[in-house]
Structures are given as structure tokens and as C-alpha cells.
Chains A and B, each alone.
Chain A
Amino acid sequence: MTQAEIKLCSLLLQEHFGEIVEKIGVHLIRTGSQPLRVIAHDTGTSLDQVKKALCVLIQHNLVTYQVHKRGVVEYEAQCNRVLRMLRYPRYIYTAKTLYSDTGELIVEELLLNGKMTMSAVVKKVADRLTETMEDGKTMDYAEVSNTFVRLVDTHFVQRCPLVPATENSDTGPPPPAPTLVVSEKDMYLVPKLSLIGKGKRRRSSDEDATGEPKAKRPKQTTDNKEPIPDDGIYWQANLDRFHQHFRDQAIVSAVANRMDQTSSEIVRTMLRMSEVTTPSGAPFTQPLSSNEIFRSLPVGYNISKQVLDQYLTLLADDPVSLFFFLFSFFYYLHKALGSLATATLESVVQERFGSRCARIFRLVLQKKHLEQKQVEDFAMIPAKEAKDMLYKMLSENFISLQEIPKTPDHAPSRTFYLYTVNILSAARMLLHRCYKSVANLIERRQFETKENKRLLEKSQRVEAIIASMQATGAEEAQLQEIEEMITAPERQQLETLKRNVNKLDACEIQVDETIFLLESYIESTMKR
């Protein structure tokens, strides 16, 4: 794991789980798999705290364990999975677009809690939805269950691995750690539960007629009298499936940009048809015939078969495109990701170095290997500038040099030096820079917040006072007075802070989109 990745993981863990968990997590990422006592010894934390931290990390699928020989259990952190925490808002938003508020809340609960049983999720989400509804209305469990089942059917939610059933649990001492398995066919099997009930509105103390004391609130959920029927069956969000969805989205929008809406719809249909049949790492989708595509087009699109065929031929003939036509149509996913990654690289070069550099970059990409003289000629840029630009890009590792010696002694005057773009290594370099950027963004945001901590606290207090005064009914004049506790320049400062923090957050989200593209490309290349 690179230093940039470790730094980013450390910041993310700290924001989500606090310093103790962060210390343990980062230690595991740095050192690989280690047993419990070694972790406690090396980090200097007490055994209790290490256990607690490990529990939290395992709960959230960030750390796995394995029993080694001699019964030693070793824990290993999944650095990639920690980096996914940056993407949580995007997953939740996707669930909202596909399955509306119910889906959004289900995915949010699953991501916040790591693993949950279906009944727990359904109850929590129903309660939350009921809170937002008007008085008197409640959310029925059945509706939430339905959405949950739909999420499972489309593979967005999957089962967690379980301890396999043992016939005789008294044969000697249990192993130090259970080995978890999940069979393929069980992964998306929803247990038959009949969850009947409605969401409960959380009653605040002044509205509550019976005046139950606040201490009783956690005990109030009366449904807990029954034993949970599906205890032991835990569910987690299936991040790979979300990634597949993002990838499809990226491809469809790229096609829409390059061609038109109709072709993007055709591509979307093709991708949807092969959604469940294509395993996540496959380079191609399943072959489809044009008849199948025609039948599966969404209802609103009434284009005739000939027009569809024309579109398909157009897509297949496009040199940048990503189709193969061979009696049936495939979608060459790996190449699609490659084009997306290349487009990202091109736009980075353009934004950093200018359009002429971008021209040179695209030229070298297209021609694969070029000598300096050839670059100047093809790009039609004066020699001095061309050299300058090439060296600038070379120093930033977007372009690399390929040496071809003419003589065995590699004398520089008798060697060809060719400029070339190695997409994989440039993508890796860019990804590393992205991780660094996000870490910088997070640090800056934390710094800004810390600088203005006093002011933020003051404004929160004032808001709380105003809210409580409004609840108990106060005059306009009094509210005005309280509001004036925050002076105008302070207000200004708060505004600026808010704007900056929003900007930094938005940056993080958008850099993460680039990270996703580059990671997908690198992953797909490594698999081949």
C-alpha cells in the first residue's frame, strides 16, 4: 500500500470510527496480517481496546481473520475496502434513484452498520420513514420488506458469510475462530419472514401523554418481546454490484456524448440485458442478437428494426467504439474502460498543461511511438515549444521514453529515443495523485473547521437557544436580540466557512468519481 493510500485510509477511519480504531486499522494496513497480541504490543494499546477496535472493523467488513497453523488467528485489513468509505454517499444516492426513499434508507442503514439482519433493517427503516411522514400516518413493514427483497433480487444486497452448521458441536474445544462460508446459491436467498407491523414514531417527552420517563425509551420498543426469527442471517451491501452500475452509467453517458440519445438507449438496453448474466470481472458481455435487442428496447422507443440495425452498424464501425460485431453484438467492456481511462488522462493533460500539450499527448497516444522530430512535424508546433512541452509531460510521467539502441554499447548519440504513452502506468500515477488530492482535501477541511471551532460552537448554541425559545413561544424582539449575539463580521466568517467546506466536500466527491474510473480500468487490466 502506498503512503498516499495509507494516509487516506487513516483520515477516513478517523472520521468514521475515532482515533483508537484508526490506530489499529492503520497498523494492520501497514504491517499485513497479525495476531491479536502482537497488535496490542506493537501499537501500545490495551488488549480491551484492541478487541473493541477489531470488533468494529470486522463488523464493517474492513478486517478479515484467518486461523493459521497452531491455532493462531491472524487479522488482516482490506485497504481497498477502507477506501470505499469515500464512496458511501454515492451508493446511497444511487439506491435512491433506483428504489426511491425506502431503498435509500435501507442501503444507508446497511452501510452505516456493516451487517444487519433483515428484520432489524426493516424495523429501523420503517421507523425512520414514519418520522418523516405526516402525523397519523405510518410506514408498513411489508412495503419496506418488498423493497428489501427487490434490492436482493437485483443483487445490490447480499448475504454475509456464515458459520457452517456443525452436526456435533461437542467434539472437543471449538476452533479459535470460525471459518465463514457462503454458498453461491444462498447468497441472494431471502428467508421466509412474515414481518408484520408498522413503523413507530419516536415520541418526544413533551408530546407523550402517558409521560414515560426518558430512561425507559430504549425499553419501549415492545416488539422485542418476540425472538428474532432470522437471527444469524446477516446482510451487507454488495459494493461490486454498485460499481457495475456506475460503470454502465459512465459508458452510457459517454456514448450519449459521442453520438446521440438513441444510441445511448440502445447501449443501455444491451448492458441491462447482460447485467445479471455477466460476471463482474468479465471483459465482454454476453453476445446478443439484434432481434433480442429489438425486443428489449424500452416501450417508449418506437424505432423500426431497420433503424435499429443502422444504429448498431454505426456503433460497431465507430473506431473509438467498443462494440464488436460478429453475427451478434458484444460489448467489449475492457476496451470501454480503457477508453474512459484514456479520456480522463487526456483531459487532465489538457487542464494542466494546455490545449497544445493535449494535442501532442493525443498524437503520441494515437501513433504509439514517435521520435521528437516526428512529434514536431505531426503536431505542427514549433520545435522549441514542442520540446518544452514534451519534457514537461515527461517529468510528470504522463509520457515515457522508449530507448532503441542502434549499437550494442547504447551510446546516446546512436540511440533512438521514442516517446510513448503507457496507459496503465500513467493511470496508476494519476490514481496515486488522486489519493493524495483527496487526503489533502480532507485535511484542509478539517483544518478549516478546527480554525473556526469557537465560532461554530457559538453559532450552534445560539441556534439551540432560538429553537427552544421558539418552542416555548417567545416574542420577535427577544429572538432578534438573541440573533444579534452573532455579529455581522462573524456571520460573514461563518458564510465563508460554510462555502469553503461545501466546496471541499464537493471536490472530494468528484475526485472520487475519477478514482472509480481509474481503479476500474486498472482492475480490469490486471484480471486479463
Chain B
Amino acid sequence: MVSKGLGCLMVTVVVCNIFAAAASLALMAVAIWVVVDAYKLYPISAGSGKTDIFAAAWIAIFTGFAFFVTCLFGIFAALKRSRGLMLTYLIIMFIIFIFECASAITAVTNRDYLVGNSNLVKQQMLQNYAADTTQGKQITDTWNKVMQDVQCCGTDGPKDWIDFQSTYQSTFGTSYPWPPNCCKKLSNSEVANPTNCRLGQNTDLFTKGCFQYIESMLSRYVWVISWYGFAVLMFVFFMLLLAMVYYTQLD
């Protein structure tokens, strides 16, 4: 009877470990996707000095892989019914658990700091767009790409360029009140209708603000790292409870 119960528990532990191994491999894969930065928004994060979202993604790559390897070890330890191996498995899993917690918490906290409201992104844009520094060039390129792809202008709208002083205005302000990338362009990258662009005709000037797009793309990264990491951690938590019970039943 006891051995039958123990056998059942062993099978459960093994199956849970298989699932956890698969889930943590998926965590590693999505963390790699975040690090690769498909939306090319890293300079906006770097401009604020805190790239914690991407740091959390790097941690998630390593913890995802470590979870995977340790879960395979756990399968071996459970099948072997060895106390020493199970204890090693539990300790290693616990350490990786703590690191993955750190990754999830870091990602979601940095998201609040960066895109909780549009102030930080707007300040960065006004300061660095068209600035002559390395950071300025990166941010200018990022914003140009975003403004043309998403068809938006400024952070909350084109009025940002009028209501605030900016590096752009002090350098180029006399010819256009806002950057030419705010307007529809022809395929040879020339402004389609410069007069209408300067006046702000809504057929040629993009009147939407870019903050919503930037916020939703960065949030996408963060939800992947933090919420999926959280889900994996909750599953691993219950699996570890089961493993601890199994450990106590071993002789």
C-alpha cells in the first residue's frame, strides 16, 4: 500500500518535472525573443539609463535553461528514489526559483518607471531628438522609424513640438515646426506635401501620438517576462511542494 502510494507520487513528480522542463524551455525561448528586440525600442529604454527590462530578459534566459536542466535531473533523482539526489535537486531548484523571481519583479517594476506615464519618454525625445551625441543619433533613428511605421508624431501629439523647447527646435525650428518624419513621405523619403506639412493639415501630418505604441510594445516584452515567468514559478512552486513530500516519504 505504502509502496503503491509512493509509486504514484514518484510518477506525479516525474510528470510534473517533464512539464516544468518544457515550460522553462519556452521561457528561455521568449526571453531570447525579448533580448533580440524585434521592435527596436532599446534606445528609448537606454536613454533613461535603466535597461532593466532587457536585464530581466537575460536573467530569464539563464534561469529558463537552468530550470530545464535541473528538471531533467529531478526526473532522474525521482526515478532513482535517492534521498541525496532529491535533496540536491530541491536545493538547486530553490536557488533558481529565487533568481527567476528577481527577473519577473525587475521587469514589471522597470516598466512602471519607463512607461507609467508619457513624461519620461517625452522628456527624452525633446532632449535627444536631433541632438549631436551618439545617444541622440540612436534616439533620432528610433523615433524616425517609429513615426513613419506607426504614422504618429511626437509623444502625445505634434503639439509637443510647439508646447516645449527642444533640441530639434533650436537646431532646425525655423523651417518646420515638427520633424519632417511626422508627415507623409514619398517612396524616395521626401515629404509628400511640404506646405501642408508645415501648416499641419491632417491629410499630411500624422496627428496621433507615438506614446501608445511605444508603451504597448514595451509592455508586451514585460508581460512575457514577468507574467509568463510568474506562471512558470507558480507551477514550479507546487511541484516543489510535491517533491518535498516525496522526499519525506523516501527511506
Q: Do A and B bind each other?
A: no
Give residues in A with beta carbon < 8 Å to B: none
Give residues in B with beta carbon < 8 Å to A: none
